[in-house]
Amino acid sequence: MLLKLNNIPFDFIILLQQPEDLIIKKALSRKTCEPCNKTFNSQEFISQDFHLKNIHPQVKSNCPICNTLLATRKDDSFRSVKKRFFQFSVFHEELRNFALYKEKIIFFDLFKGVEDLSRLVRTIDDHYDKLLGDSKSL
C-alpha cells in the first residue's frame, strides 16, 4: 500500500481517533436492519471527553422504516471486534508513520461522532489555509 501512496500525490491524511474501549462498546451494542441496511445504537457512550449520543428507533426491537426485527451482526462479538481493531492498528501503522515522516497527517478526535463533521471541515480548511500560507512565504 505504501508503494502506491509514494506515487500518488496527497495533501495530507486524516486519522480519525476514538479510544479503543469506546469503539468496542459501540460495536457490541449496535443493531442492524438487513433489508434497509441501516444501523442503530441504543446506548449513549461517554468516555473521557468523548460523548456519543444514541441512534435508535422508537421501538428498540424493530426497524422504524420496515418494521423488521433488528439483529446483532454475527461478527460483532467482543473477540472479533478486538481482532478487527488490532488488524486496523497494525495495517495502518506504516501509513501513519509515513504520514508523520512527511508531516502530512491530521489527528482528529471524534468526540461526538457525526456531530463533529463541521469541526472536521473547519480543521481541513485551517490546514489548507496553513499550507497555502506556507507556500506563499517561500
Enumerate domains of the chain plus CATH numbers: 2-136 (3.40.50.300)
78-103, pLDDT tens digit by residue?
999 999 999 988 888 888 888 887 78
Q: Whose CA is closest to 123, among 4, 1, 15?
A: 15
Concatenated DSSP letters for 61-123?
Answer: TB-TTT-PBPB--TT-SHHHHHHHHHHHHHHHHHHHHHHHHTT-EEEEE-SSGGGGHHHHHHH
pLDDT in tens, 43-62: 788 877 888 887 765 556 88
Please state, in angstroms and rounded to a whole number, the distance separating the CA atoms of residues 9 and 12. 9
Predicted confidence at residue 137, as pLDDT, reads 56
